[in-house]
Amino acid sequence: MPQLNVDQLKAKAHDIRKLIIRITTEAGSGHPTSSLSACDVVTALYFGGFMKYDPQKPQDPGRDRFILSKGHACPVLYSAMAEAGYFPVDEIMTLRKLGSPYEGHPNMRRLKGIEASTGSLGQGLSIGVGHALAGRMDKQGFRVYVMLGDGEMGEGQVWEAIASADKYKLGNLTAIIDQNGYQQTGSTREVLDLTDFQPKLEAFGWHVQTINGNDMGEVVAALKASTAVTDRPTAIVSRTQKGFGILPLLQQENDTNYHGKPLSKELAEKALALLG
Ligand SMILES: Cc1ncc(C[n+]2csc(CCOP(=O)(O)OP(=O)(O)O)c2C)c(N)n1
Ligand SMILES: [Mg+2]
């Protein structure tokens, strides 16, 4: 598993952002903006030396687990995993094509290294609690990372998982909330305002940090601090921008959510130029 420094991680996140744009535009569908907000955290997990993994041994019992509960953001997962050596980069260009294993939501039955089939929002943290309990029972030292969306936090099942993780004092579980301020139909404040997450999670007994999740230095520091917490579950409230990296283009389009829409070929060219 690679261990890049902050500057190298920024460059890697940049490459992954470009892949996200390319594969979703090629597919003509998908969720680029949901992927872009989460990109820095996912990059740091796979390339910052945090997750223990070997793409050649995806079933290794001791591997760390990453569950993308907001499964619609799988372009960031496929892109990071391709860069990490799980699959050829060319293959992920088949995203969402008929027969492709790179489905619109991650399918653990079709791709090695995918820990959970997600997409129906609200379930990933419960699955993560199960993995964390299993790790403890099997005396395996792995850590479980689960990424959720801020809109997804409105699902009741998430709060059941939060409560049970506290009950079992799951010190091998890290949840990351990608707080990009939007869900499908509008801003999270308008649809269902659950902010501020930190005191709510603390009330459930969790260790919590709130950071700028598009600042690689802050992301790395928070992940480092979270691995030091072993007596209770830990959360990172990652405040991000939906579509981070291409925001000026989204503003020109008068849609800073741009949920579930690929960029047109023309807009994608502009986005790739903007990313440099
Ligand atoms: C159970 C369920 N209800 C509705 C949807 C449809 N849906 C897909 S993405 C989305 C919005 C999610 O918002 P958020 O969790 O904030 O993720 P973001 O795209 O902002 O990263 C919704 C409602 C779904 N996938 N699953
Ligand atoms: Mg959101």
Structure tokens at 65: 């687990």
67-93 in b/e form (b: 16+ CB < 10 A) is bbbbbbbbbbbbbbbbbbebbeeeebb
13-29: per-residue pLDDT in tens? Answer: 999 999 999 999 999 99
Residue 115 CA, ligand 2 centroid: distance in Å: 22
Share of the chain above pLDDT 70, in %: 100
The fold for domain 6-275 equals Rossmann fold (3.40.50)
161-188: per-residue pLDDT in tens? Answer: 999 999 999 999 999 999 999 999 999 9
Please give the pLDDT value at position 95. 98
Decide: residue 166, CB within 10 A, 0-12 exposed, 13-18 middle, 19+ buried.
Answer: middle
Separation in Å, CA 74 to CA 42, 122, 209, 233:
11, 15, 25, 25
Question: Assign residue 196 a region: left if phi > 0, alpha if psi is -120 to 50, beta otherwise?
Answer: beta
Which atom of ligand 1 is nearest the CA belonging to 242?
20
Please give the pLDDT value at position 227. 97
Domain boundaries, the chain: 6-275
Q: Whose CA is nearest to atom 18 of ligand 1?
A: 34
Q: Residue range 225-236: average pLDDT?
A: 98
DSSP assignment of 169-192 equals T-TTEEEEEEE-SB-SSSBHHHH-
Please count the CA atoms within 13 angstroms of the CA of 271 that sit on its side-chain side.
31
Res 195 pLDDT > 90: no
Mutation to probe ligand 1, out of 20, 34, 188 (largest number of atoms < 8 A from CB): 34
Query: Cα torsion for 196, 242, 178, 58, to the nearest 10°?
Result: 180
Please give the pLDDT value at position 276. 86
Closest CA to 21 of 86, 76, 63: 76
Please give the pLDDT value at position 258. 98
Q: Residue range 76-105: average pLDDT?
A: 98
User: How confident is residue 269, by pLDDT bands cut at 50, 70 and 90?
Assistant: very high
Please give the pLDDT value at position 129. 99
Please give the pLDDT value at position 136. 98
Pocket of ligand 1 (CB under 6 A): 34, 37, 70, 72-73, 119-122, 149-152, 178, 180, 182-184, 242, 259
Side by side, which strands form the sheet with 173-179? 65-68, 144-149, 173-179, 234-239, 207-212
User: How confident is residue 1, by pLDDT bands cut at 50, 70 and 90?
Assistant: confident
Q: How many CB atoms lie within 10 A of CB 276?
A: 7
For ligand 2, a single-atom ion, the residues with CB < 5 A are: 149-151, 180, 182
Mutation to probe ligand 1, out of 29, 123, 158, 183 (largest number of atoms < 8 A from CB): 183
Please give the pLDDT value at position 138. 97
Structure tokens at 30: 């998908």
Please give the pLDDT value at position 167. 98
Question: Distance (Å, rounded) from C-alpha 274 to C-alpha 50?
Answer: 29
Please, are residues 214 and 241 in contact by the beta-carbon 8 Å criterion? yes
Q: Is the dihedral of CA 137, 173, 5, 22 positive or negative?
A: positive
Please, are residues 69 and 145 in contact by the beta-carbon 8 Å criterion? no
Q: Kindly report the average pLDDT of the chain as a whole number.
A: 98
**What are φ and ψ of residue 152, in 5° steps?**
-60, -30
Question: Distance (Å, rounded) from C-alpha 202 to C-alpha 192?
Answer: 20
Closest CA to 207 of 226, 223, 221: 226
